[in-house]
Structure 1
Amino acid sequence: MANTDNQGQIAEYKARQYLEQQGLSFVEQNVRYRFGEIDIVMKDGKDWVFVEVKYRSPSRYGGAVNALSSAQTQRIRKAASHYIQINRIDAICRFDVIAADPNGIQWIRDAF
């Protein structure tokens, strides 16, 4: 399990680097509440972007893109809603997914 945790951390770091190269600015990482977690918080201009990073080895069926369940998206939405409230954010927000595997990164804007 520690190996997959480490791969996940590496994937998050690479995702952050990738998004910064695309012009987004980093705000915060690994925001945890008891009911949910946000992997990365970025800003795209004035818009806030909540990023879920999914890492999968290529042998896993469906790859990283298909790894998000509806329960997970609900937890992420709940965490983001709480984050927006406590930080008094009044701006457009969206949810992106970074799907990472050893072959590269796929960025899905407005994923859910």
Structure 2
Amino acid sequence: MPDGSRQAAGIAAEQQALHYLQAQGLQLLAQNWRCKRGELDLVMLDGDTVVFVEVRYRLHVGFGGALASVDTRKQQKLVLAAQYFLQQEARWANQPCRFDVIALQGRGHSGTPLDWLKNAFDS
């Protein structure tokens, strides 16, 4: 898949995840939040809990699919970026936090159900 198509698919997957989470009552705090430590796809508020959401899209299930792509190294990068976010956005620093993963797989994912793994890993 060409880079442009891959990027467009990733953006579409992230938008689908965002709309899904908003339909579940979560509020968007930040999208594609970048810092020197990495990027946070979505930062949401679920009640009083700050939720750092990693959106993963894979066309094929090979190599374990979308959920398996959030390995220990990726988790560590997300934790560091989340810590930096909380330092920069002090109003959220004392709220409970969790890390979720939303996984989408296959072609035409906009109509495909997504997997929402709450508390995907501990910080």
- Pairwise TM-score range, normalised by the shorter structure: over 0.9
Give TM-score scaled by structure 1 length: 0.94
How big is the shift at 1:59? 4.4
Checking the alignment, whether the CA contact within 8 Å between 2:37 and 2:84 is kept in structure 1 is: no
Report the 3-state secondary structure (helix = DSSP H, G, I; strand = E; otherwise coil) of the residue aligned with 2:60.
coil
1:94 match: 98
The answer for unaligned runs of 5 or more in structure 2 is none
1:52 match: 54
Across the aligned residues of Structure 1 and Structure 2, the Cα RMSD in angstroms comes to 1.1
Report the 3-state secondary structure (helix = DSSP H, G, I; strand = E; otherwise coil) of the residue aligned with 2:41.
strand
Match of 1:108 among 112, 117, 120: 117
Instruction: Give the share of equivalent positions with the same residue, in percent.
Output: 38
C-alpha distance in structure 2 between counterparts of 1:22 and 1:37, whole Å: 23
Give the structure with the higher percent helix. Answer: 2
The answer for unaligned runs of 5 or more in structure 1 is none
- Shift of the 60–104 alpha-carbon distance from structure 1 to 2, 3 Å rule, reads farther
Matches within 5 A, 1:1-112: 1-88=3-90, 89-101=93-105, 102=109, 103-112=112-121
Give TM-score scaled by structure 2 length: 0.86
Aligned residues: 112
Query: Runs (4+) of structure 1 moved beyond 6 Å?
Result: none
